[in-house]
Amino acid sequence: MGTAGVASVSSVESGIVRRPPFGSNPLVGERGTDTRRRVLDAALQVFAEVAYPEARVEQIAELAGCSRPAFYQYFSSKDDVFWTLATELGEHMVELADRLGPVTPDEDGLATTTAWIEGFMELHQAWAPVFRAYPDAARGAEDRAPRAAYVTGHTSDRLLRAFGLPSTAANRRLVGSLVGMLIRCSFYAEAAPAGMTRRPLVLGLARTFHRVLAGPVEGVNFRRGRTRGRRRIRIVAPVQPPVATGLRARGEQTRRTLLEAGAEVLPSRGYHETRVDDIVSAAGVSHGTFYRYFDSKDDFFRVLAEEASGRMIELVEQLDLDAGDDGLRDWLRDWFAAYEADGGIISTWQDMRTSPELVAFSEQVAASVFTRLEQLLDQRDFGHPQVAAAMLLALLERAPYRVFVLGYSTAAGEIEATLTIIRRGFLGRDDG
């Protein structure tokens, strides 16, 4: 599927009904269809430029070249526009999955997997604003969850069928985890510097998918013999631990109460929708007390992020890919527990794009983790350590997110799926 094929969302629709009030004919004619399409295209552009909670109907209508009343003839709200776009994206994802043919454990099967990965990357690039806005839009929209779950489940079923695997709960979790890694890597690809091709990442993902689902096949989806340490590892300055506050015991306890309240509120409401009011209400303190310890919501969130990232980075430093299944399983349990304890703060800051300071901090954390993973993966005798580090970072980010934010899996089930992906996909072993 070419990018143009999915980026062009101007197909003629028929039988669309206007929202009341409308004229004598409730069916939208050619002109009305064009207006509706322009609104959808404009919304896609606005969601690309503005964080979803901050996007406004006025912005969409102005960009579409229509009035607010004209907007409300076709959509009830910004959310209505978003879920219309999300439905279209879901149809494209289903179509892409349906075109995936049988995948054999040979070069032809790897080529089929590569073509599907490339198609998904193109789809993600064309619809990136919808993917990016989804976490914010989905908060409080539980009625939409079944449709999203259907698309995810359909893609998983088609992947299992293509690889000739039974549709067991364990296998569905396995392919779900792989798709989650692919989605996260698609964001990485879009954030890459201008002129940098995504081809190495596409090939790395295809080989990893093929190793996990068809089994490691030397000479097909991996080749041993790479010279270790052939690349110079980039050294990234580690994130510094939080400095001591100098507060007395009572003051530190109040500050800690505020931080714990924020850790509970932020994941459920999101960065943009969380207000200082929400934090002080959950903590049972006054506004004045909040500003005694923090300059602003951004300052408050930075402290939360520093503490959470410090624990995560410390865990990554303890990761040993040669620890065997038992050792890796124990490490993954600690990783998931840390993610849960921090209330999903790591995932929450990924939704935040309006604070340059926090964006820079999150990038520094990712770079620190990436450097450590690259060092570990450079010890293998196959593959591209930088590409593999990006994929492993995506897997470790997305796996607990699927459990504690999306609710797609259990921690125990997701840990086993992640372990299988690491063993087969990143270590080239199938002896579990």
In tens, the pLDDT along 303-331 reads: 888 888 888 889 999 999 999 999 999 99
User: Is the pLDDT assigned to residue 204 strictly greater than 70?
Assistant: yes
- For residue 354, give the amino acid letter: T
Q: The tokens of 138 are what?
A: 């989905």
Higher pLDDT, 233 or 161: 161
Residues 15-37 have a mean pLDDT of 57
Taking CB atoms within 8 Å and a gap of at least 24, the contacts of 14-20 are 16/74, 18/73, 18/74, 19/72, 19/73, 19/74, 19/75, 19/76
Neighbouring-strand partners of residue 27: 17
**What is the predicted pLDDT for the residue at 328?**
97
CATH of region 3-76, choose from 1.10.10.60, 3.40.50.1100, 3.10.290.10, 3.30.70.1450: 1.10.10.60
**91 membership: H or E segment, kind and range:** helix 78-98
Q: The tokens of 277 are what?
A: 């009011």
Higher pLDDT, 80 or 152: 80
What are the boundaries of each domain within the chain? 3-76, 85-231+384-432, 249-377
422 touches 328 (CB < 8 A): yes
**What is the predicted pLDDT for the residue at 46?**
97
Which residues, including other chains, have CB under 8 Å from residue 232's CB and lie 6 or more apart? none
The residue written with tokens 């526009």 in the block is: 81
Q: The tokens of 166 are what?
A: 């039974």
Could you tell me the pLDDT band of residue 349, with boundaries at 50, 70 and 90?
Answer: low
**What is the predicted pLDDT for the residue at 332?**
98
Residues 164-176 have a mean pLDDT of 96
Which residues, including other chains, have CB under 8 Å from residue 171's CB and lie 6 or more apart? 160, 165
- CB-based burial of residue 324 (10 Å sphere; 0-12 exposed, 13-18 middle, 19+ buried)? middle
Per DSSP, 321 falls in state T
Could you tell me the pLDDT band of residue 169, with boundaries at 50, 70 and 90?
Answer: very high
Q: Per residue in 123-168, pLDDT tens?
A: 999 999 999 898 888 877 777 777 778 898 899 999 999 999 999 9
**What is the predicted pLDDT for the residue at 344?**
61
Give the integer Cα–Cα distance in Å for 311 and 241: 9
Residues 203-232 have a mean pLDDT of 84
Which residues, including other chains, have CB under 8 Å from residue 23's CB and lie 6 or more apart? none
Q: The tokens of 157 are what?
A: 């079923």
Q: The tokens of 308 are what?
A: 């959470």
Give the integer Cα–Cα distance in Å for 98 and 89: 14
Buried b (16+ CB within 10 A) or exposed e, 161-177: bbbebeeeeebbbbbbb
CA distances from 145 to 3, 83, 130, 141 (A): 27, 11, 15, 7
Q: Per residue in 31-58, pLDDT tens?
A: 557 899 999 999 999 999 998 988 999 9
CB-CB neighbours of 41 under 10 Å: 17
Question: Nearest Cα to 260, choosing from 243, 292, 242, 284?
Answer: 284
- CB-based burial of residue 69 (10 Å sphere; 0-12 exposed, 13-18 middle, 19+ buried)? exposed
What percentage of the chain carries pLDDT values higher than 70? 84
Could you tell me the pLDDT band of residue 203, with boundaries at 50, 70 and 90?
Answer: very high
Q: What is the pTM of this model?
A: 0.84
Which residues, including other chains, have CB under 8 Å from residue 283's CB and lie 6 or more apart? 257, 258, 260, 261, 290
> Helix (H, G, I), strand (E, B), or coil: what is residue 128?
helix
89 touches 64 (CB < 8 A): no
- Cis ω before 200 (30° cut-off from 0): no
Q: What is the CATH number of domain 249-377?
A: 1.10.357.10
Give the integer Cα–Cα distance in Å for 1 and 115: 9
Give the integer Cα–Cα distance in Å for 339 and 381: 31
Per DSSP, 322 falls in state T
User: Is the pLDDT assigned to residue 246 strictly greater than 50?
Assistant: yes
Could you tell me the pLDDT band of residue 178, with boundaries at 50, 70 and 90?
Answer: very high
**What is the predicted pLDDT for the residue at 302?**
82
